[in-house]
Amino acid sequence: MKLWKYSMILVSLSMLILSSGVVSAEIIDDGQNDVLKANADGTYVRGQTMNVIDVDKITCTISGDTLTLEYKIVGPFQQTGDYMYYALVKTADYNYIVSMNDYGEGDALVTGNAAHDYNFDDPECIVGDNTLTAVFQTQGDTTIVEVFGWATFINTPVYTDWTPDSRGPEGSFDTGGDDTGGDDTGADDDDNGGNITKPKTPGFEAIAVIAAVGIALILLKRRK
Ligand SMILES: [Ca+2]
């Protein structure tokens, strides 16, 4: 068999492995008792305890063509009153969002992260005592750019837990990119600062390709 045929096998094998549902995950473990109190005079007090808006963990798992987003608070959720909950997975092409407003209704939706159309996807958002979960059909490039969220009690003063902490007004996310100040609410997508978290399981694809190359090399050796 000629070299180009082995190359074809190699490419086919790589594509097969890459398309067979490689799992990647991004988990943000947030601290407890880390709620931020915003005073009317513009100052902040860290380290507040308010379990009902204390974000515990945000988990994004991509497997095959599904993206599962789970947003967990210490809880329990408050489904009436001035409470709001929000988590977003920003990928190269689209944003996958779960949220809950003060009507107590969980919502899951996809928004475009680039100037192109997308397929409307409106999966169920499952509301538990302390988790919001939604399973999305992935669209476009699913490379994870950032995962973040927040929970807030809109009162006087306002209490908010930002996840990760760097997303907050006192965090480090204003140090770069095009964000112009401390007014980033976490809901916009134009912040390109220093808080981009890398996927915790990089290299799955690389390992798959290396394995495919290894198999091809073994086949080549056997031919000699
Ligand atoms: Ca927290």
Q: pLDDT digits over 112-131, tens only?
A: 876 656 666 679 999 999 99
| Position 146 pLDDT exceeds 90 | yes
Question: How many angstroms separate the alpha carbon of residue 219 from the centre of ligand 1?
Answer: 52
| Position 217 pLDDT exceeds 90 | no
Q: Which residues surround ligand 1, an ion (CB under 5 A)?
A: 30, 34, 54-55, 161
The pLDDT tens digits of the residues spanning 15-67 come to: 555 555 668 899 999 999 999 999 999 999 999 999 999 999 999 999 999 99
Looking at residue 112, its pLDDT comes to 85
d(Cα 53, Cα 35) in Å, to the nearest integer? 8
Question: How many angstroms separate the alpha carbon of residue 32 from the centre of ligand 1?
Answer: 4
Q: Say what the pTM is.
A: 0.69
Looking at residue 106, its pLDDT comes to 95
Count the neighbouring beta carbons within 10 Å of the beta carbon of residue 71: 30
The pLDDT tens digits of the residues spanning 64-82 come to: 999 999 999 999 999 999 9
Looking at residue 51, its pLDDT comes to 98
| Cβ contacts of 160 within 8 Å, gap of 6 or more | 35, 36, 38, 53, 150, 151, 152, 153, 168
In the chain, domain spans:
1-22+202-224, 24-200
Question: How many angstroms separate the alpha carbon of residue 191 from the centre of ligand 1?
Answer: 21
Question: How many angstroms separate the alpha carbon of residue 160 from the centre of ligand 1?
Answer: 9
| Position 176 pLDDT exceeds 60 | no
Question: How many angstroms separate the alpha carbon of residue 165 from the centre of ligand 1?
Answer: 8
Question: How many angstroms separate the alpha carbon of residue 161 from the centre of ligand 1?
Answer: 6
Residue 102 binned pLDDT confidence (cut-offs 50, 70, 90): confident
Task: Look at residues 68, 7, 19, 6 and name the one whose alpha carbon lies nearest to residue 208.
Answer: 19
d(Cα 189, Cα 176) in Å, to the nearest integer? 14
Question: How many angstroms separate the alpha carbon of residue 79 from the centre of ligand 1?
Answer: 19
Tell me the pLDDT of the chain averaged across its residues: 78
